[in-house]
Structure 1
Amino acid sequence: MMYEVLGPLRVIDGEDSFTISARKIETVLAALVVRCDRVVASDQLITEIWADAPPRRATAGLHVYVSQVRKLLNRPGRTANPLLTRMSGYELNTEDDEIDFRLFLEAVERGRALMRERRDEEAVACLEGALNLWRGPVLGDLRGGPIIEGFVTWMTELRLECLEALADTYLRLGRHRELIGRLHLLVSENPLREAYYAQLMLALYRSDRQAEALSVYQSARSMLMEELGLEPCQALQDLQRAIFTADAGLDLRAAS
C-alpha cells in the first residue's frame, strides 16, 4: 500500500484508493502514518482527537476509531493487518508499504547531495520529482494536536526549503529567465522569506532587468518594516548594493 499525506490523506492499494470522511477516524490514521513504525501512546491519540477536552469515555471511543482504521487497512491479499496493538498504544507497521513523505525526504536529500557535487541537472530532476509528490497542503484541511500540527509545520517548511534549493540550482544553470514568474509567486505567498526576494532580484538582474531587481528590494524592505519593524537582512542589503553598482561578481560566469 501507499499512504499519501502530502495533500489530503489517501491510501492506495493497487488500483484502488480511498479516503476517510469521518474526521476522528481520519485523525487517528493520520497520526499513526506520520509516526509510522513507532508506538503512538493512547493518550497522545486522545489528545489528537479531542485536544484538551476529551469526553468521559475517551478511551472507549479511541478503541472504536482504531477498530475502524484496522478494518480499512484489512485489504485483500495481506497476511497481517499493519495496525498493531502495543502495551501503551498503537503502531502502524509500514515494512511492506510506502509513504509519500518518506519518498519526498529521500528525494530532497539526494537532490542536496547532487547540488554539493555540482551535478546540477541531476539535482533539478531530483528536486522537481520531490515537489511533484505534493497534491496540495499537507493532510488537506485536517488539523489535530501536537503530532499532526508538528508534522504539518515540518513538511511545509521542508517544501519551502526544497523550492529554494531548486531555484538556486536553476540560477547556477543559467535558467534565470524561467525562474522569474515562479519566484514572483513564491514572494507573494511567503512575503517574509527573504531568500526568495534575493533569488528574484538576482534572476531579474541576470535577465537585464536591473531596475525591477532594485524595485523588488524596495518591496521587501517595505514589507519587513511594516510587518516586523526590521531592515532586510545583511545578505539582501549587500545584494541590493551589488546590483546598484552592477558588480561583476553577480554575473553567471563569475558565480560559476
Structure 2
Amino acid sequence: MLQFNVLGPLAIKRDGREIAVPRGPKVRQLLSLLVLHPGTVVSHESLVDELWSKEPPKTALSTLRTHVYHLRKILREESGGTALPGLLHTWSAGYVLRAAPDQVDAETFRRFAREGEALLNAGELEEGARVLARALDLWSGGVLTDVMCGPVLTQYVQHLEEVHMRVLQQRIGAEMQLGHHGHLAAELKSLVTRHPLNEWLHGQLITALYRSGRRGDALQAYQKLRGILQEELGLDPSRALQHMQRVILSGVDGETIAMIQNGTQRSSSTLSRLPQAG
C-alpha cells in the first residue's frame, strides 16, 4: 500500500520503503494538491490556479493533462507496476487521488488532533497529551518543505501549520497541568527560539522554569522576551506577563504563577501571525 507524506518533504512510501517522487516542480505541485484531498475531486480550476496563479497560458488544460500523464507514469513505474490502475482517476470536473485518509500523514495528524482534544475536554489529561504527542510526531519539518507552493497550496500549508501550533500548545498546556515542568523547560527554550514572537510559548517557558525552582532563569527568560518585543514590535510584554514577573520577584509560590498563566494573556495567534524579522 502506498503512503503519502506532506508533513515535511513530499514523500511516497510503498510498504514502508520510500520511492522516488516526481522531479518536475509543477508535477510535484499537482501531486501535493491531490494528496491533500484524498478521495476528493480536485477541480481543473483549482489545479490551474495552483500551477499558474492568475496568469494561466492558453494551453493550461492540455498542459495539465500532460502533467497528469507523467504523474501516472511515475507512480506506475516506482510502484513496480503494481499501483492500482485507478489510483489517479479522471473526472469531467478534475482529478481524484483514490487514497484512503489513513494513507496520508496530514489526515492521520488531523484525526489524532481531534481525538487528543476530545480527551482533554473530558479531563483525561495524560491520555490526551499522549495522543497529541502522536499527532506531533508525524511531523518531520514544515509542510511540503521541498515543494514550490502556489497560491492554493500556500493556503493549505498555512492552515496545517496553524493547526500544528494549536496542537502543540494543547499538549504543552496539558503537560504543564500534569506537573512536567522540568521536562518541558528544555523543549520550550527551543520553541521560543523558533517562534520568537509567540508570547504564549514564552509565558509557558517562564512558568516552567520558575516552577522547576529556577527563579533566576525565569527572570532572564522574561527579560529576553521583553527585549525581543521591544526590538521587533516596539511593545512591552502583556500585562499578565508583567504581573508574573512581579510575582516571581516577590518569591510567591509556583501555584500562583500557574493561576496567572491561565488568566488573560495576549493570544499567541496575534503575535505569531506578525511577520518575523529575517
Instruction: Judge same fold: TM > 0.5, yes or no.
Output: yes
Shift of 1:46: 1.9
Q: Does 1:250 pair with 2:252?
A: no
Q: Is the 8 A contact 2:22 2:71 kept in 1?
A: no
Q: Is the 8 A contact 1:70 1:81 kept in 2?
A: no
Question: In the superposition, relative to structure 1, how do residues 115 and 128 fare at CA in structure 2: closer, same or farther (>3 Å)?
Answer: same
Trace 1:22-171 onto structure 2 (pairs within 5 A).
22-74=24-76, 75=79, 76-77=81-82, 80-95=85-100, 98-171=103-176
CA distance in 2, matches of 1:79, 1:17: 18
CA distance in 2, matches of 1:191, 1:96: 34
How many pairs are equivalent?
A: 255
| Matched residue SS, 1:188 | helix
Shift of 1:106: 1.1
Quote the residue 2:232 is aligned against.
Answer: 227
Q: What letter is aligned with 1:176?
A: H
Question: In the superposition, relative to structure 1, how do residues 167 and 49 fare at CA in structure 2: closer, same or farther (>3 Å)?
Answer: same
Give the 4+ runs in structure 1 shifted more than 6 A: none
Q: Does 1:236 pair with 2:241?
A: yes
| Matched residue SS, 2:96 | strand
Q: What letter is aligned with 2:141?
A: G
Task: Please identify, of 215-224 and 52-61, the stretch whose mean Cα deviation from structure 2 is larger.
Answer: 52-61
| Matched residue SS, 2:111 | helix
Structure 2 segments unaligned to the other structure (5+ residues): 262-278
Quote the residue 1:6 is aligned against.
Answer: 7
| Matched residue SS, 1:198 | helix
Question: In the superposition, relative to structure 1, how do residues 252 and 56 fare at CA in structure 2: closer, same or farther (>3 Å)?
Answer: closer
CA distance in 2, matches of 1:51, 1:192: 31
Aligned counterpart for 1:209 among listed residues 208, 214, 219: 214
CA distance in 2, matches of 1:160, 1:173: 20
Please report the TM-score for the alignment, with normalisation by the length of structure 2: 0.82
Q: What letter is aligned with 1:242?
A: V
| Matched residue SS, 1:87 | coil
- Once the two structures are superposed, what CA deviation does each residue of 1:100-146 show, in whole Å capped at 9, x if it has no partner? 01111111222222222332221232122111111222112313222
Q: What letter is aligned with 1:63?
A: R
- Once the two structures are superposed, what CA deviation does each residue of 1:166-192 show, in whole Å capped at 9, x if it has no partner? 221221121111111111111011011
Question: In the superposition, relative to structure 1, how do residues 128 and 203 fare at CA in structure 2: closer, same or farther (>3 Å)?
Answer: same
Percent sequence identity is 33
CA distance in 1, matches of 2:138, 2:167: 12
CA distance in 1, matches of 2:237, 2:39: 43
- Once the two structures are superposed, what CA deviation does each residue of 1:75-107 show, in whole Å capped at 9, x if it has no partner? 555554122222222222224862101111111
Q: Is the 8 A contact 1:184 1:200 kept in 2?
A: yes
Please report the TM-score for the alignment, with normalisation by the length of structure 1: 0.89
What RMSD in Å do the two structures reach over aligned CA positions? 2.5
Structure 1 segments unaligned to the other structure (5+ residues): none
Q: What letter is aligned with 1:133?
A: L
